[in-house]
Amino acid sequence: MDGKFLDNDIDKVVAADRAHVWHHLSQHKPYETSDPRVIVEGKGMRVWDQKGKEHIDGVSGGVWTVNVGYGRERIANAVRDQLIKLNYFAGSAGSIPGAMFSERLIEKMPGLSRVYFCNSGSEANEKAFKMVRQIAHKRHGGKKHKILFRERDYHGTTIACLSAGGQPERNAQYGPFAPGFVEVPHCLEYRAQWDLTGEDYGIAAANAIEDVILREGPDTVGAICLEPVTAGGGVIVPPEGYWPRVQEICRKYDVLLHIDEVVCGIGRTGTWFGYQHFGIEPDFVTMAKGVASGYAAIACCVTSERVFDMFKDDATDPLNYFRDISTFGGCTAGPAAALENMNIIEEEGLLENTVQMGDYMLDQLHALKDKHKVIGDVRGKGLFLGAELVKDRTTREPMDEKSVAAVTGDCMAQGVIIGMTNRSLPGLNNTLCYSPALIATKSDIDELIEATDKALTKVFG
């Protein structure tokens, strides 16, 4: 780090932050007596805070975003050049980076064809929900409007997204919610709801979706929205057998399949998209975080041509198009950054690195599990991994949140940032999570594992 930030009089910065910034996900009482953390600079896998302390970032910017790592001048330059040429134009007009990024993106997504730009994962999901609702009105007299979501999945922060949210701890105190969203059971075998294992478990969990469709009435269910690998709900990789059965059920009942790739999209699990591990054919794919690795705000709702066609079949009907706009969907910095982000992933072989390093890290986490009995389960795909902590391996009683936070806190003190699934109601989210940038090396991973090892020993003995 070059220490340049010290020129800004960092004490003034911290005072301004304490006085005026309302931090995300934060209880602010502690900041009355202690300083909030301000992250000042980043390079590769590392960030520096206001005290100049170096940290290795095991969670890509806190929430699975900075896939290509910090300090990428190529992306900054692409954005700069584009901003000077044309920063913004919205409404019905297109842009050069929007068109060129869409073409590149669609090359990676066989079977899909249209990209709708917006700004956040929540917004991308809202776009898909609105499309589903409009299709219900256009095709089914408004009846086939219900949207299914899965227990433990998260789709965003707006009221509609929370209405489709399977994490009660995120929803508490924000109701009432939007009608027409219906929950299906989670598919985490470690917290089994059926006395089955492996593929049989996967099929049973998918069949539970069919039960909900039949209970609600197939003529009322328009779509199902699922994370390919559940992120904040506990890093859950659905068991074998799950996805093929989900696809079959969707086809059988004419239920559109919406895959929320806000976390998994653009390489996180070692393929461009998480759903591509499972051979499924979604109708909607939403994405945000890794699309431009946080160098600009961009999100997309990508659809099949079949979905798109439903919005242009009768051009004489004044209601017959997607009557939606996203003001900042017209910012050109997003697709310019996203295009360069994709170039970097390809040129540096980051998908291949993610597969190799993900396998390595999973092995290391299994070794930690052999050593620490508080680790009940280890799971994940690519560089998206979790270790679920329990009080007792036999009963699988979840570790209390305070103790899990003590582990992440100790890692932080060691200069190692790892995550935990949502700080929440007791017993729901007790999983340490790891999502280093896709550039991670073995020695980076060793650092994350060694810090966790030390922290577990310190907290649990």
Rounded least distance, CB 161 to ligand PMP, Å: 7
Rounded least distance, CB 104 to ligand PMP, Å: 21
Rounded least distance, CB 177 to ligand PMP, Å: 16
SS3 452: helix
Cα distances (angstroms) measured from residue 243 to each of 179, 197, 216, 362: 27, 15, 21, 22
Nearer to ligand PMP, 22 or 443 (CB): 22
Nearer to ligand PMP, 120 or 326 (CB): 120
In the complex, which residues of this chain contact ligand PMP (CB under 6 A)? 63, 120-122, 125, 154-157, 227, 231-232, 260, 262-263, 288
**Residues 151, 160: Cα–Cα separation, whole Å:** 16
Nearer to ligand PMP, 229 or 361 (CB): 229
Nearer to ligand PMP, 262 or 451 (CB): 262
Rounded least distance, CB 64 to ligand PMP, Å: 7
**Residues 386, 47: Cα–Cα separation, whole Å:** 22
Nearer to ligand PMP, 264 or 399 (CB): 264
* Spatial contact of 448 and 58, defined as CB atoms under 8 Å apart: yes
Nearer to ligand PMP, 50 or 431 (CB): 431
Nearer to ligand PMP, 123 or 444 (CB): 123
**Residues 48, 405: Cα–Cα separation, whole Å:** 21
Rounded least distance, CB 164 to ligand PMP, Å: 10
Rounded least distance, CB 112 to ligand PMP, Å: 18
E strand intervals along 53-205: 54-57, 114-118, 146-150, 181-184
Taking alpha carbons only, the member of 187, 208, 209 closest to residue 198 is 187
Which H/E stretch holds residue 134? helix 121-140
Rounded least distance, CB 433 to ligand PMP, Å: 11
Contacts 24+ apart (CB under 8 A), 80-87: 81/336, 82/332, 82/333, 82/336, 83/332, 83/333, 85/332, 86/332, 87/331, 87/332, 87/333
Taking alpha carbons only, the member of 51, 69, 71 closest to residue 415 is 51
**Residues 406, 456: Cα–Cα separation, whole Å:** 9
**Residues 434, 375: Cα–Cα separation, whole Å:** 14
